[in-house]
Amino acid sequence: MPDLPLETPVLIGRKRDGEELSGDDLRRLVEGYMSGAVAEEQMSALLMAGVIRGFSDAEAVALTDALVASGDTVDLSRLRGPTVDKHSTGGVGDTTTLVVAPILAAAGLQLAKLSGRGLGHTGGTLDKLESIPGFRVALTPDEMRAQVERIGLAVAAATAELVPADKRLYALRDVTGTVPSRALIAASVMSKKIAGGASHVLLDVKTGDGAFMARREDASALAELCVRIGTARGRRTAALVTDMSQPLGDGIGNAIEVAVAVEVLRGERPGRLDELCRELAAAALVLTGTAAAVDAPAFVDELLGSGRALERFRRFVVAQGGDPAVADRPWEVLPRAPEIVEWRPGPGTVTAVRCRELGELAASLGAGRRRKEDDVDPAVGLEVLARVGDHVSPDVPVARVHARTRADAERALARLPTLVDIGEGQVAPVPLVLERVGLSGVPDLG
């Protein structure tokens, strides 16, 4: 034990008794954890004490700093102009990056996005992009910077050297019942944004059954804390709190989500994903000072309507080795599942959608992972074509199952009536953008 073994129980005891730890204490604890001087069982006890007693804002900032200091950071200072990172806390059918990043690049902003893979009922951007034939996500820092300079955007896999303490702590929290802490979640999110080097950070904090933060007030508090942390560390940071009580986009599954995102970029898939992408893009334009709040929505409309955002997406796919035809005929270029069956339960009104379970159903078809080492099947998943409040007739499908086998398709089809309720009468649609944090200048577009 090189360091700290006698002091560590004392620090844990102070957190246990509800005291605030200093930034120096927290830095040494995280450093000691990474060096082996603080044992796994000591860190889990500290985390549990923090989960129950709470961490102050100052502790959340210090934890973020300690996580950032555990590994490499990306230096984007050679890029001229504002750099943006857009981050979603994760959900079902949440394909906003593939739409928002090209819009913002077309507006002259720069996005060097480090992304992850999906786990559980939520998808990951890397898995989605890799469903495009030829697309590669393993970029070196130099390749990434050069691509951002040339076309304004790049998406690559985060390396193990970026915030390694977060990876270890997340694995520890997962098995020790210490996930639900606002400060720990915020430090995890913001450490990766700060290490990623962008000058501007836009967060999309999800709430509802399909999100990690099921309760609205928890999501709001998390959004506010993330904005305070980012601001404290010199990043212009804002957040939207948005609904994840039903799938965002119509696609749930990797290739299906890419196809749906291309359709949104082409103006061919109106709906909640399209709406939220416009909101997020407008917010980023305002946050970076690219457009005034009053002008931003029209600017976004123009970037989409003119095809400039789609063109930027095409250049992005080419730059990373993918087949650019995906921007024109996505359903032909992307892998297609052999069994595609439709579910037509109408007539009636959609009264409830069980979002998380739809994500889990898609994952069970092969679209997601149960464990980190699992492979995903890029072609399979679901299309969910109606939302709460929609009237559906027997003529149009409410969902499509994309399955590897006939048996899988039938199993999923049998499950769908338990996940989407069809009733009678009028039901109000669910609001999409619930709150804006750090964006007082942006008008409500809803």
**Do residues 3 and 32 make contact, with C-beta atoms less than 8 angstroms apart?**
yes
Q: Is 188 a catalytic residue?
A: yes
Give the whole-angstrom CA distance, residue 32 versus residue 5: 9
List interacting residues with its own copies (CB under 8 A).
5, 8-13, 15-16, 39-49, 51-53, 172, 174-178, 180
Give the whole-angstrom CA distance, residue 93 versus residue 53: 35
Closer CB to its own copies, residue 17 or residue 424?
17
User: Shortest approach of its own copies to residue 9 CB, angstroms?
Assistant: 5
**Tokens found for residue 116:** 């992850």
User: Shortest approach of its own copies to residue 52 CB, angstroms?
Assistant: 5
Closer CB to its own copies, residue 7 or residue 410?
7
Closer CB to its own copies, residue 176 or residue 351?
176
Give the whole-angstrom CA distance, residue 398 versus residue 386: 5
Q: Of these residues, 70, 88, 188, 191, which one is catalytic?
A: 188
Closer CB to its own copies, residue 5 or residue 429?
5
Q: Is 173 a catalytic residue?
A: yes
Q: Is 209 a catalytic residue?
A: no
Q: Is 399 exposed, middle or buried (0-12, 13-18, 19+ CB in 10 A)?
A: buried
Q: Of these residues, 15, 27, 28, 87, which one is catalytic?
A: 87
**Do residues 66 and 31 make contact, with C-beta atoms less than 8 angstroms apart?**
yes
Q: Checking phi first, is residue 119 left (phi over 0); if not, alpha (psi -120 to 50) or beta? A: beta
| Helices 23-35, 57-69: inter-axial angle, 10-degree rounding | 40
User: Shortest approach of its own copies to residue 8 CB, angstroms?
Assistant: 7
Closer CB to its own copies, residue 29 or residue 260?
29
Closer CB to its own copies, residue 43 or residue 222?
43
Q: Is 192 a catalytic residue?
A: yes
**Tokens found for residue 228:** 């305070």
| Helices 272-287, 296-305: inter-axial angle, 10-degree rounding | 120
Q: Of these residues, 192, 312, 314, 436, which one is catalytic?
A: 192
Q: Of these residues, 28, 113, 128, 173, which one is catalytic?
A: 173
Give the whole-angstrom CA distance, residue 177 versus residue 363: 23
Q: Is 22 a catalytic residue?
A: no
Helix (H, G, I), strand (E, B) or coil at 325: helix
User: Shortest approach of its own copies to residue 35 CB, angstroms?
Assistant: 16
Q: What's at 427, amino acid-wise?
A: V
Give the whole-angstrom CA distance, residue 416 versus residue 142: 46
User: Shortest approach of its own copies to residue 42 CB, angstroms?
Assistant: 5
Catalytic residues: 87, 166, 173, 188, 192
